[in-house]
Structures are given as C-alpha cells and as structure tokens.
Amino acid sequence: MAGKTIKSLTCPGREREIFCNRTLNLRSLRAIGYDMDYTLIQYNTDAWEQRSYEFIQGKLEDLGWPVQGLEYRSDLIVRGLVLDIERGNIVKANRFGYVMQAYHGTQRLKFDKQRRRYSRTVIEFRNPRFVFLNTLFSLSEACMFAQMVDKLDAGEIKDIVGYEELYRTVHQALDESHAEGVLKEEILAEPEAFIDRDPDIIQALLDQKQADKKLVLITNSDWTYTKRIMEAGFDPELPEGTTWRDLFDLVIVSARKPSFFDGSNAGFEVVEEEQGLLSPVGIQGLEEGRVYVGGNARMVEELWGFSGEQILYVGDHIYADVQASKSLLRWRTALVLREREGEIRALSGFRAEQAELTSLMLKKEELESTFDRIRMLVRRGEAVSGKGKDPKLEKFIVKLNRIRSELSALDKKIGPYAKAYGELLNPNWGLVLRAGNDKSLLARQVENFADIYMSRVSNFLYSTPYAYLRSKRSTLPHDREDASLSETGVIDLDTL
C-alpha cells in the first residue's frame, strides 16, 4: 500500500453503527446479496417522490380529478405507516398492532374519535383493508391518497364510490407511470439529481471481497435501468479501469422478489448486454460473473453450494427483501433503514429534555401511587365508620386534594416535553421506530425479521467483514433497575 493511505475505520457516530437484533458472525458468511434501490443506491427521497407525485397528479388530472394546485408534502407521510383504505385513514400502530395515531385524509383524528374507530381493531398484514408503507417509494402515492380523501369528502370527486376505489385509482396512476417507464427515463436522464452518492460504500464492498465473500446483486429493477443507475452511482468513485461489475460475482435483475425467494421463477441469462438479449439458464445453472434476468434463490445457493446461515441478504423492503428471505430460506438478513440517522440525531439533540421528561414522569408515577393508596385507606375507613363520620380521615382527604393539584401542575410541565418528543424527526408522526413510549409496528417487524439493521450499506466499513455482531441483552419490564416506587406498599402515615 506504499503511497496510499488506509482509510480510517473509526465509526463517525452512532448513526453509522450496525445494530443487532440476532447475533451474527460476519466472518462465517460466505456470500452477501444486495438489493439495489434504496440499498446500494440511495436516492434523494424528496426529489424522487416529488417527481413521482407529479406523475400521479398528471394521470389523475387526465381523469378529471381536482388535483390542480396540490403539492407533494414530505411531512405528511413516513415509512412504517399503514393506510386504512376502508376508512380513508392513515395510522401508526404500536408493536401489538394497536393504533396510536390516526389521520383522516390530511387531518389528524381527535383522540376520542380515533379510539372509537380503532379500539377493537388490530392492524394485521393479512387484512387487505390495510396497506403497509414498506418503502420510501410509497410516500408520494400515500400523500396523494390523503389529499384525495379530503377531496372525496368535500364531494369534489364524482365518479368514485369509496376510499378503497380512491386508493386503487391513485395506486394505478403510479403503476402506470412505472409501466410506461417515463419516471425512470427522467431519472436516467439526470441521475445526479436523484442519487445520493455514498463514496464509502465502495470500500465497504471491496473489504467484503477481500475477506472472500461472494457478492451478489439481486434487484427487481430491469437490466437497462440497473446498468445505468449502477454506472452513475458507482463508476465515478471506482479506480480507473474498473466498473461496478467488478464488485459483484453475480448480477440478477428483474428478480421479482419476494417470489424470487420461493424458488420457482425461471431464469434467463443476458447474453448481449447492450441489447439485453436473453437465453434460458441451462441445466448447469448460474455461472459466476454473468448477468441474469429472473431466476430464484435456490439457483444462487446451488452455484456455490452455500445455503441458509452462510448467506446474508441486505435490503430496504421489510417484506420483499427481509421477511421473505428469512422465512423461506433462513438466510441471514440486514435491513437498510435510512431514517435511523435522522432518528439518532434527533434523539441526541433531545437528550437534556428527555432526562427532564423522564424525571417528571417518575415523579408523576410516585404521586399517583401515593394518591391511589391514600384513597384506598379513606375508602376502607369510610366503609367502617360511614362517609364523613370519622374526623381522623379528614387529613387524608386534605392530602388527596393537595396531590391532585400537584399532579395537575406536573402535567402542565410534562405537556410541552411530551409534545416535543412526539414531533422529533417528523412533526406529524414523530420517530418511525417508536409509537409513544412503545416500539412501533415497524420496529416490531424489524426486530422479527432483520438480524441486523443500519442506516446505509457503507456502515459495514466500520465493523469490518470479520465482526462478531452480538445482540444486546434484551430487557423485560421486570428488569427495571431504577425502580423508585416503594415496593413494600407501606405508607408512613406520620409523614402525611
């Protein structure tokens, strides 16, 4: 390495770390598969969704819908939310599937209305009434859906009978833009405006190759798009004379994930790369260094004789990338969750406020507990002597009133902190992995299906391909070490 510097491996901060749900020894991996869109290639989400929104808008305008003057709002939707297409709502659920926040169209539902709507409803994946926003590509269509719900309620869309049909039409408008290829053409004409290039990713992949891992690109995008986007995203950063193709031992495009992982899709080799001419995969199966269209995960396993725990798949789609590869093949899984960087920055900026909020909440819990116990003492006393008959109970009642006003003063202090916490990262929805104090439904999915997760692929650079990533000791409610409440249940009556 004479004359060259070795890039420092010091992780620049928590937001660039790899987080571990299930212990994973990177050293024991033999192959690593990568998704492309929002995994190897990070897009400028606002720029992409803005254009995508405008295409949907154009299609709906052709249908005569009242979309003129509307604008894409990046604050309205975040990944991990769920559309309730039966009711025209957008909801955020906690890890149990209970709705914690809801909007009808673009308007927040008041708490009592939200409770009436959803007190008996659990958000479930199998229920077709719910559409999960699994990827950053769904933000524009969800935004348009919310805005069109407002218009439908206002009687401005005549030929639509309900929210479900409304959603289908908006979704179809986006599908048509994709099918016609117009959106992608525009992106390919000026990729620099849409790609958020990450120079560290190349060293991270080179390190993995140096450590004898086979690298495979497995994307649902087609060959023409993949080729041009990978050229734009990688080639300018690579040493002279090398291209993105040198980084990957195998390239699979139009993979049709998640069905790619169930092992039944046929595969074709791209024999003439410029023209994209195809020939069927022969009996010998896949070969290293080639490009294939379709095929399936079993073919990848057979090429090198690797399987299950020897392969890591890295993607950004919780269902198509991560859940499917884990459930069907027991591959190890990594989720790229770009929002993690913003979340960590927002939380670290909120540290002092969080400490104050935690301390106020502890005080509140203590006071509530004391209140409840005194109240019980009063009830017991009254049961023996009759209500208002025992003058000795009077001082307890005075104390109860005092605590009541202390609690109300505390709530006034807590309110602004709780509001600020609820607006971290996004003013309408807060943090994507949290629902109030609890984990969000998205966080539960990440926990269930992603062995590790990180904000971007280049975070591998700092752990090296040899890291033994250990999951942290998980906590249970009874592990609480800072219990400040009296556990004896005894109140010293002399102190009252």
Point out which residues bind Mg ion (CB under 5 A): 35, 37-38, 316
Closest approach of Mg ion to the CB of residue 37, in Å: 4
Closest approach of Mg ion to the CB of residue 263, in Å: 21
Closest approach of Mg ion to the CB of residue 218, in Å: 10
Using the minimum distance from each CB to Mg ion, give the nearer residue, 84 or 451: 451
Closest approach of Mg ion to the CB of residue 143, in Å: 20
Using the minimum distance from each CB to Mg ion, give the nearer residue, 301 or 316: 316
**CA proximity to 136, closest of 220, 24, 49:** 49
Using the minimum distance from each CB to Mg ion, give the nearer residue, 316 or 451: 316
Using the minimum distance from each CB to Mg ion, give the nearer residue, 38 or 55: 38
Using the minimum distance from each CB to Mg ion, give the nearer residue, 29 or 217: 217
Using the minimum distance from each CB to Mg ion, give the nearer residue, 38 or 331: 38
Using the minimum distance from each CB to Mg ion, give the nearer residue, 38 or 130: 38
Tokens of 241: 């004379």
Whether residue 270 contacts residue 278, with contact meaning beta carbons closer than 8 Å, is answered with yes
Residue in the shown chain whose Cβ atom is closest to Mg ion:
37
285: left (phi over 0), alpha (psi -120 to 50) or beta: left
Whether residue 87 contacts residue 99, with contact meaning beta carbons closer than 8 Å, is answered with no
Closest approach of Mg ion to the CB of residue 195, in Å: 14
Q: How far is CA 383 from CA 371, 489, 491, in A?
A: 18, 21, 20
**CA proximity to 451, closest of 87, 13, 23, 11:** 23
**CA proximity to 192, closest of 252, 156, 235:** 235
Using the minimum distance from each CB to Mg ion, give the nearer residue, 38 or 421: 38
Closest approach of Mg ion to the CB of residue 17, in Å: 21
- Amino acid identity of residue 80, one-letter, is G
Closest approach of Mg ion to the CB of residue 41, in Å: 9
Using the minimum distance from each CB to Mg ion, give the nearer residue, 15 or 35: 35
DSSP 366-396: HHHHHHHHHHHHHHHHHHHH-TTT-GGGHHH
At residue 431's C-alpha, the angle toward residues 430 and 433, to 5°, is 140
Closest approach of Mg ion to the CB of residue 319, in Å: 11
Closest approach of Mg ion to the CB of residue 490, in Å: 58
Query: How are beta strands 89-93 and 99-104 bridged, if at all?
Result: antiparallel
Bond from prior residue into 258 cis (ω within 30 degrees of 0): yes
Q: In what helix (H) or strand (E) does residue 469 lie, and over which residues does it extend?
A: strand 468-469
CA dihedral 62, 37, 340, 109 (to 10 degrees): 20
The torsion angles phi and psi of 180, rounded to 5 degrees, stand at -75, -15
